[in-house]
């Protein structure tokens, strides 16, 4: 069987060809489900308990995942009832820690196991979860074939020693690039301007927004202190550096330590002096960004296809009947260059992946149950729900019914989907389907955006740190160092741009980072990356 590349797999999804026989070698899903229903050497009915955070959208329409129609149907198909338990919203991490400490464990836990102190290997050694290599080889034919055909993804979902510890959630197709630069297209059209590509063009466009459209914060942004690696300021990548840790020809670097980062800050400092960047960027959050993009105070921002373009287009007409948005490519310094730093999700979605606990009495059947979502039938169930109810096939294309697209209870599409499927947030199996995106993003502007942002997605693999596993000692050292470093970096980032700190003092800033042991943190990250590269 030929290897299925990422792009080829996306095309299989798009044309409706994602079937068990094509990507898994498992051509008889009826017998596969029967093996789940009737496990060998079992005289009692199997049932499982399943713990996971509950997606906020799902929490708006169901009390637990057992009320979602796809899971009701899955119980009919497998004959295995699932008792779902969810921690209170906002207390997921705290409740996870309490659950682990209690040792009163459910059969399956869906969580980010890379965040477990000491990593997944420690969780296995602690007797919390079990190693899955043999179970996957013997009882997960769909997942096994996919990982064999995609060794780059297989490496992501293992530990450094080659241990499999979850049935993963895998993002494929257009779903990985759902955010990027957003710009007022109606303003560009009115002013006779093209979508900017270089920083020089961006400067001209923002100056025009300020002088001719009265924008008081032509480009608005904010500092995401929860995840500084996200490119909420999409300008930085044009200078060939990241906001946080990144790779440069395999070498781990910390962006604020690099000379090019000084150039980037000096550039933004110039924008600030000219009134092109939001003067409140240091205090902004997403709500203030939304308000400024809707009111006409701002004409460009980093945003999402759904909660950005979708929401803005719906509400923008209240301020302006011709309100229109477009996506822009991540900027570059020179015309013709390709952007390298792009906000892209990892193919392995840690938060939607499920481990089997050490107290599970039927791990083989649990693995079979989870593996079903990597089959064609399971994929369709997860992403589209029940045929004839939440979707109908139209010339080989699964089209959502009016229960989803025009919900009789006036639920928006995002909430209606969570009543019937798990298409719009990660869970074991493939993370949605391009055919889902084509219907979820109802606006042409949204569909164009994910095409534009995803054009150079492949480049991000050159600069983005892989999902490394740190030891318990490494995790503790990194957490201690980076808490201080990031707090100081954020403060100085703002001061340099506002002109409160002379740019000539940048070398002193770097010296202070070194005194805070940033070089040790870089060494720890480099060691983890090198272990990752050697994974079997």
| Chain Cα centroid distance, residue 525 | 21
Task: Please give the Cα distance from 342 to 231 (Å, whole number).
Answer: 7
In whole angstroms, how far apart are CA 102 and each of 96, 97, 129, 346?
10, 9, 14, 32
Q: How many helices (H) and strands (E) does the chain have?
A: 24, 14
Q: How far apart (Å, rounded) are the C-alpha atoms in residues 267 and 149? A: 45
pLDDT tens digits, 351-386: 999 999 999 999 999 999 999 999 999 999 999 999
**Which range (257-266, 268-277, 286-295, 310-319) has the least confidence?**
310-319
Prediction pTM value: 0.85
Instruction: Determine contact, residues 168/157, Cβ cutoff 8 Å.
Output: yes
Residue 258 pLDDT > 70, yes or no? yes
Closest CA relative to residue 183, chosen from 169, 173, 193: 193
138-152: pLDDT as tens digits: 999 999 999 999 999
3-state secondary structure of 399: strand
CA distances from 455 to 258, 425, 519 (A): 27, 23, 34
Burial of residue 336, with CB atoms counted within 10 A of its CB: 0-12 exposed, 13-18 middle, 19 or more buried: exposed
The CB density around residue 325, as the number of other CB atoms within 10 Å, is 25
pLDDT of residue 100: 96
Q: Are strands 251-254 and 245-248 parallel, antiparallel or unpaired?
A: antiparallel
With the C-alpha atoms ordered 265, 270, 273, 278, is the resulting torsion angle positive or negative? negative
- Report the half-sphere exposure of 409 (CA within 13 A, side-chain side): 8
Q: Is the pLDDT of residue 521 over 90?
A: yes
Residue 301 banded pLDDT, cuts 50, 70, 90? very high
Predicted confidence (pLDDT) at residue 173 exceeds the cutoff of 90? no
Q: Where are the beta strands (DSSP E) in 3-99?
A: 48-51, 82-85
In three-state secondary structure terms, 5 is coil
Residue 233 has what pLDDT?
82
- Confidence band of 28 (pLDDT split at 50, 70, 90): very low
**Residue 344 pLDDT:** 85
138-to-134, 333, 371 alpha-carbon distances in Å: 6, 52, 11
Q: Using pLDDT thresholds of 50, 70 and 90, give the confidence band for residue 178.
A: confident
Question: What's the token pair of residue 58?
Answer: 């799902």
- Kind and range of the H or E run holding 310: none
Q: What is the pLDDT of residue 225?
A: 67
Residue in 476, 501, 473, 477 with CA at minimum distance from that of residue 489: 501
Task: Name residue 219's beta-bridge partners.
Answer: 277, 300
Residue 123 in 3-state DSSP?
helix
Report in angstroms the alpha-carbon separations of 285 from 221, 234, 288, 314, 491. Answer: 8, 16, 6, 20, 16
pLDDT band at 458 (very low <50, low <70, confident <90, very high): confident
| Residues whose CB is less than 8 angstroms from the CB of residue 359 and which lie 6 or more positions away in sequence, other chains included | 105, 107
User: Percentage of residues in the chain with pLDDT exceeding 90?
Assistant: 76
Q: Which CA distances in Å does 86 have to 96, 99, 349, 452?
A: 10, 11, 19, 37
Helix (H) or strand (E) holding 351: strand 348-356
**pLDDT for the residue numbered 12:** 31
> Could you give the 3-state DSSP secondary structure of residue 459?
helix
For residue 226, the model assigns a pLDDT of: 66
What local confidence, expressed as pLDDT, does residue 104 receive? 95
pLDDT band at 36 (very low <50, low <70, confident <90, very high): low
Write out pLDDT tens, residues 93-138.
999 999 999 999 999 999 999 999 889 999 999 999 999 999 999 9
Query: Strand 82-85's sheet: what is its strand order?
Result: 82-85, 48-51, 108-110, 348-356, 167-171, 429-431
pLDDT band at 275 (very low <50, low <70, confident <90, very high): very high
Sheet holding 325-327, edge to edge: 219-220, 300-304, 179-184, 325-327
Q: What mean pLDDT do residues 82-95 have? A: 95
Q: Residue 227 — very low, low, confident or very high, per pLDDT cuts 50/70/90?
A: low
- Residue 76's nearest CA partner among 417, 404, 386 is 386
pLDDT in tens, 387-435: 999 999 999 999 999 999 999 999 989 899 999 999 988 999 987 688 9
Please state the rounded mean pLDDT for residues 293-304. 94
Comparing 21-25, 227-231, 295-299, 485-489, the range with the smallest average pLDDT is 21-25
CB 440 within 8 A of CB 223: no
**Cα 224 to Cα 230: distance, rounded to the nearest angstrom:** 7
- In the chain, the percentage of residues whose pLDDT exceeds 70 is 90
Average pLDDT over residues 495-509: 95
Give the model's pLDDT for residue 263.
Answer: 97
With 90 as the cut, is the pLDDT of residue 8 above it?
A: no
Whole-number mean pLDDT of the chain? 89
N- to C-terminal Cα distance for the chain?
21
C-alpha–C-alpha distance, residues 435 and 384, integer Å? 9
User: Is the predicted pLDDT of residue 228 greater than 90, yes or no?
Assistant: no
- Concatenate the DSSP letters of all residues of 227-275 into one string: -TTS-SSTTGGGGT--SSEEEETTEEEEGGGSHHHHHHHHHHHHHHHTT
Confidence (pLDDT) at 255: 95
pLDDT at 2 over 90: no
pLDDT tens, position by position, 38-79: 444 444 689 999 999 999 989 999 999 999 999 999 999 999
Full DSSP string of 144-168: HHHHHH-HHHHHHTB-TT--B-SEE
| pLDDT at residue number 14 | 32
- Note the pLDDT tens digit of each residue in 479-495: 999 999 999 998 999 99
Q: Quick one: tokens of 57?
A: 């959208």
Helix ranges, 301-457 (H) = 311-316, 363-371, 376-384, 402-405, 413-420, 434-440, 444-454
109 backbone dihedrals φ, ψ, rounded to 5°: -130, 120
- For 361, counting Cβ atoms within 10 Å of its Cβ (0-12 exposed, 13-18 middle, 19+ buried), the class is exposed
- CB-based contact 309:443 (threshold 8 Å): yes
């Amino acid at each position: 069987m030929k290897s299925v590349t990422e792009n080829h797999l996306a095309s299989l999804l798009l044309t409706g060809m994602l079937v068990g026989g094509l990507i898994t070698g498992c051509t008889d899903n009826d017998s596969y489900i029967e093996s789940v229903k009737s496990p060998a050497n079992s005289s009692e009915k199997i049932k499982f308990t399943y713990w996971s955070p509950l997606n906020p959208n799902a929490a708006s329409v169901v009390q637990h995942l057992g009320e979602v129609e796809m899971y009701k149907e899955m119980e009919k198909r497998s004959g295995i009832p699932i008792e779902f338990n969810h921690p209170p919203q906002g207390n997921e991490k705290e409740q996870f820690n309490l659950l682990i400490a209690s040792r009163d464990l459910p059969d399956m836990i869906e969580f980010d196991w890379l965040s477990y102190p000491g990593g997944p290997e420690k969780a296995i050694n602690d007797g919390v979860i079990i190693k899955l290599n043999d179970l996957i080889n013997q009882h997960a034919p769909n997942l096994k074939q996919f990982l064999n055909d995609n060794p780059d993804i297989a490496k992501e979902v293992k530990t450094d020693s080659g241990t499999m510890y979850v049935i993963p959630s895998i993002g494929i197709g257009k779903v990985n690039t759902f955010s990027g630069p957003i710009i007022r297209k109606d303003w560009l059209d009115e002013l006779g301007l093209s979508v900017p590509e270089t920083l020089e063009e961006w400067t001209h466009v923002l100056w025009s927004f300020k002088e001719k459209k009265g924008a008081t914060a032509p480009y608005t942004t904010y500092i995401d202190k929860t995840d500084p690696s996200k490119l909420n300021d999409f300008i930085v990548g044009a200078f060939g550096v990241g906001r946080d840790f990144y790779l440069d020809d395999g070498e781990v670097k910390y962006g604020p330590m690099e000379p090019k980062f000084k150039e980037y800050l000096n550039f933004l400092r110039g924008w600030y002096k000219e009134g092109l960047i939001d003067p409140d960027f240091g205090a902004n959050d997403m709500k203030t960004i939304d308000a400024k993009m809707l009111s006409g105070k701002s004409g460009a921002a980093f945003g999402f296809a759904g909660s950005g373009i979708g929401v803005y287009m719906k509400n923008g007409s209240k301020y302006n009947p011709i309100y229109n948005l477009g996506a822009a490519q991540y900027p570059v310094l020179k015309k013709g260059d390709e952007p390298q730093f792009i906000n892209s999700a990892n193919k392995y979605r840690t938060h939607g992946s499920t481990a089997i606990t050490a107290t599970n009495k039927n791990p083989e059947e649990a693995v079979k149950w989870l593996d079903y979502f990597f089959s064609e039938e399971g994929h369709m169930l997860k992403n589209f729900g029940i045929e004839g109810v939440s979707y109908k096939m139209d010339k080989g294309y699964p089209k959502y019914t009016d229960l989803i697209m025009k919900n009789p209870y006036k639920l928006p599409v995002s909430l209606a989907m969570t009543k019937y499927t798990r298409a719009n947030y990660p869970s074991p199996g493939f993370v949605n389907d391009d055919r889902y995106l084509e219907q979820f993003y109802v606006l042409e502007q949204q569909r164009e955006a994910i095409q534009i942002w995803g054009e150079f997605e492949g480049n991000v693999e050159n600069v983005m740190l892989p999902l490394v596993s740190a030891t318990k000692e490494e995790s503790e050292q990194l957490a201690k160092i980076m808490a201080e470093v990031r707090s100081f970096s954020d403060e100085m980032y703002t001061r340099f741009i506002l002109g409160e700190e002379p740019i000539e003092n940048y070398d002193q800033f770097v010296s202070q980072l070194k005194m805070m042991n940033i070089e040790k943190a870089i060494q720890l990250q480099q060691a983890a990356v090198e272990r990752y590269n050697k994974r079997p």
